[in-house]
Structure 1
């Protein structure tokens, strides 16, 4: 289990840096887009597509990272009033549901989308990037959700959530 935690810690560190870099690129890209549209006589043609692709990647990878940090919104009013044993069961069921979603929608569905766009040879309009590369973030984020939910399932908290834990 220590090796698994070490791997997750390494992934977390890489993901944190990658998300920060992509956010910085997004800010620079959108700033350049506004500058070229309103100040310079010639608007930039590629900035909208870059912003869209960065936003897709940031959203999906950021969602996985937020899940890892347990920063997603949650409805814990019911769980808070359960016993420790029942709260742990509910937590593990939630982990299973996340894993099922990650496998079926993000990994399998994402791999199908990547395969279809690769087979059809779809490319983006302006940058001429293969859309399979853009969509590859779906199975990647699904794999992250699956890893994190597996870790949470086997390391479920054995105490109930207290009021002071939430505040």
Structure 2
């Protein structure tokens, strides 16, 4: 997507030409990247949220609130799937002027998003109800400090593995 847009800018300003399909394809890819990224963020608990109340609750109430918010989000996912499917069907015969593909590809992103998010949310609810958790694990928003600590830990492990492999290679 970035290459398409950047290449088109270069072609327009340097060579006074351009790729007609660049704008339409970049827009379509942008929508898909956003929706797929939202699913990934859900799995990583990286969405923005307000957790001041939930962090103060007992583990039992944290689970109740997690389930309640999960059910509300599942309802929203159902709306995305239903609405996205309706728009996909409506736009099957409408095509992009330059790309020539159906606008249904654009609206299908909402269907994939709704299903992907529903799976992620259902897993979070199932996991919270069936597995024992530390109280801080029942808040599905990870703090930035937690993410930084996790990344630093992974980097330290990789550095240690690299050093071990380097010493093994030097000993041969």
**Do Structure 1 and Structure 2 share a fold, with TM-score over 0.5?**
yes
* Partner residue, 1:129: 101
Report the CA distance between 1:146 and its aligned residue.
0.7
Instruction: Flag structure 1 segments of 5+ consecutive residues without an equivalent.
Output: 1-25
Report the CA distance between 1:30 and its aligned residue.
1.3
- Report the CA distance shift for 1:53/1:133 in structure 2 as closer, same or farther (over 3 A): same
Decide whether the 8 Å contact of 1:88 with 1:159 is kept in 2.
no
Report the CA distance between 1:134 and its aligned residue.
2.2
Question: Segments of 4+ in structure 1 off by > 2 A?
Answer: 157-162
What whole-Å deviation, never above 9, does each CA across 1:10-52 have from its counterpart, x for those lacking one?
xxxxxxxxxxxxxxxx111111111111111212211111110
Report the CA distance between 1:67 and its aligned residue.
0.8
1:144 aligns with 2:119: no
**Pick aligned residue for 2:26 from 47, 51, 57:** 51
What whole-Å deviation, never above 9, does each CA across 1:55-92 have from its counterpart, x for those lacking one?
01001111111111111011111111111111111111
Kindly report which structure 2 residues correspond to 1:4-83, keeping only aligned pairs within 5 A, or say none: 26-83=1-58
Q: Which has the larger radius of gyration?
A: 2
What's the TM-score, normalizing by structure 2?
Answer: 0.75
Distance 1:28 1:35 in 2: 10
Instruction: Flag structure 2 segments of 5+ consecutive residues without an equivalent.
Output: 146-172
Report the CA distance between 1:159 and its aligned residue.
3.2
What's the TM-score, normalizing by structure 1?
Answer: 0.77
* Partner residue, 2:82: 108
The aligned length equals 137
**Pick aligned residue for 2:64 from 80, 86, 89:** 89
